[in-house]
Amino acid sequence: MNAIISAPELADELAGPTPPVLLDVRWQLSAAKAAGAPPFDGRAEHAAGHLPGAVYVDLDRELAAAPGAGGRHPLPDVAEFGAAMRRAGVSSGRPVVVYDGGQGWAAARAWWLLRWTGHPNVRVLDGGLPSWEGPLSTDAPTPAEGDFEPVPGESGLLDADGAAALARSGVLFDARAGERYRGDVEPIDPVGGHIPGAVSAPTTENVAADGRFLAADELRARFETLGATGDGEVGVYCGSGVSGAHEVLALAVAGIPAALYAGSWSQWSSDPSRPVAVGPEPQ
């Protein structure tokens, strides 16, 4: 099953006998507000217009725990995550489609969490809300309670030690911007640089100008050039486990399974005992 769905395909499925549950996960990185811009309010954006029937899901409150030792967006408590998904109408036997404002990062976080906890049929709307040409709704949805019971997978998730080991034994991608990987700048976390051995692979390079993913063969060629041929283990991290999920999604589109280091650089860099590499090379 493809991990993404186009807007025309989604329109067809919504008109069919088993329409998917729709989750609206519009979100922006908090640091983007530092320049004095008004705070982003996903609920207000949702209320102003959303795909008909879509339920708003708050990334900071329902797809992550409070910031702390686990990083800026630690994984949520599994029971609380399950309750949030059931409130949104998610059931194991019904497809789910997730979308955001077009960047794809927040939608990918929801996709990854649902897949990692056992939902068999989750896709991301390629290009997000801007790709949708159908009507929008301002009605407040009232979904029936779902039955989804999350069961975390035994694979697909890395901790700090696992990420460090994978950087030596397999391929560990750093999905952040190149200047943060190199350590030229670090606008959010305590120190710039990267996990020693990690390969720079900004997830922004996995999409076209309109926010849609590159074709599967293009993505696979990109990742193979960077060392992920599909034969060995692959992992991804980013700043806090959000844009990294987007790269895991891109790898899935390319047919390459990958694990996510959810704590990512925000967790790694908070411990001064962990090594930090700088510059353009993995080291």
DSSP per-residue string spanning 170-239: SEEEE-S-HHHHHTS--SSSSS--B-TT-EE--GGGGB-TTSPBPPHHHHHHHHHHTT--SSS-EEEE-S
Active-site position among 110, 114, 199, 238: 238
The secondary structure of the chain in percent helix, strand, coil, rounded to multiples of 5, reads: 35, 15, 55
Residues 73 and 161 occupy one common structural domain: no
Rounded distance between C-alpha atoms, residue 213 and residue 219, angstroms: 8
Distance of alpha carbon 210 from alpha carbon 102, whole angstroms: 8
Task: Specify if 151 maps to a domain.
Answer: no
Contact status, residue 6 vs residue 131, Cβ threshold 8 Å? yes
pLDDT in tens, 77-109: 999 999 999 999 999 999 999 999 999 999 999
**Do 117 and 214 belong together in one domain?**
no
Whole-number pLDDT of residue 33: 45
| Strand-strand pairing, 171-174 and 234-237 | parallel
Residues 196 and 125 in one domain: no
CATH number at 112 reads 3.40.250.10
Active site residue 238: yes
Instruction: Let me know whether 44 and 162 are in one domain.
Output: no
Question: Domain containing 59: what range?
Answer: 4-131
In the numeric block, which tokens belong to residue 132? Answer: 């949708």
For residues 169 and 71, membership in a common domain is answered with no
Whether residue 161 sits in one domain with residue 113: no
The domain boundary residue, chosen from 131, 165, 200: 131
- Residue closest to 188 by CA, chosen among 243, 131, 250: 243
86 CA to centre of own chain = 20
Q: Are 54 and 23 in contact (CB under 8 A)?
A: yes
Residues 92, 170 within the same domain: no
Residues 164 and 261 in one domain: yes
Tokens of 277: 């590499």
Whether 125 and 165 map to the same domain: the answer is no
For 169, what's the count of Cα atoms within 13 Å in the CB-facing half-sphere?
Answer: 7
pTM of the model as a whole: 0.96
Q: Tell me: do 11 and 72 sit in the same domain.
A: yes
> 107 with 167, same domain?
no
- Structural domain total, the chain: 2
Q: Is residue 277 part of a domain?
A: no
pLDDT tens digits along 108-165? 999 999 999 999 999 999 999 999 999 999 999 999 999 999 999 999 999 999 999 9
Question: Any long-range contacts for 82-85 (C-beta under 8 Å, 24+ apart)?
Answer: 82/117, 82/148, 82/149, 82/150, 84/57, 85/114, 85/146, 85/148, 85/150
Q: What is the pLDDT of residue 40?
A: 81
Kindly state whether residue 274 falls inside one of the protein's structural domains.
no
Domain boundary among 131, 146, 177: 131
User: From CA 240, how far away is CA 39, in angstroms rounded?
Assistant: 20
Same domain as 191, residue 119? no
Q: What percent of the chain has pLDDT over 70?
A: 97
Mean per-residue pLDDT, 183-197: 96
273 in a structural domain = no
Query: pLDDT tens across 3-45, in order?
Result: 999 999 999 999 999 999 999 999 987 644 445 566 788 999 9
